[in-house]
Amino acid sequence: MSKAVTAALLSAFICPGSGHFYLKRHNTGTLLSCISLTGLVYLLYYAVQQAQSVADRILSGELPLDMDLIYQQVTQTPAGSSALWINIATYAFVISWIVGIVDAYRIGKQQAEN
């Protein structure tokens, strides 16, 4: 398997930026990893916060133990600035992942030609 394919697969299936580490491009790998992991951490934080809010409402008796109501509350679209930050985090995560795959493949091809 060529270096380009290996680097692209590492970035695709392990973590964005891991292919760059494999190709000895540590600065770019660190940047891509930090961007994608920051977006992922924010999304996970929001999901846990939302789940905790619903759980607190169930425990207080405000929300009955009805699966349809709970599902509706958990999947409720965020409002205001939360929606903006969730979109930014999602785009940062997805774009850094795609850029990581494509750029790792491109750099691997360049290194193979030299």
For 70-106, write each residue's pLDDT tens digit.
888 888 888 888 899 999 999 999 999 999 999 999 9
Residue 91 to residues 3, 11, 111, Cα–Cα distance (Å):
28, 17, 29
Q: What's the pLDDT tens digit per position in 49-61?
A: 998 998 999 999 8
How much is the pLDDT for 81?
86
Where helices occur in the chain by DSSP H, the ranges are 3-13, 18-22, 26-59, 67-74, 81-113
Give percent above pLDDT 90 in the chain: 70
How much is the pLDDT for 75?
84
pTM: 0.82
Q: Are the C-beta atoms of 105 and 4 separated by less than 8 Å?
A: yes
Question: What's the one-letter identity of residue 95?
Answer: I
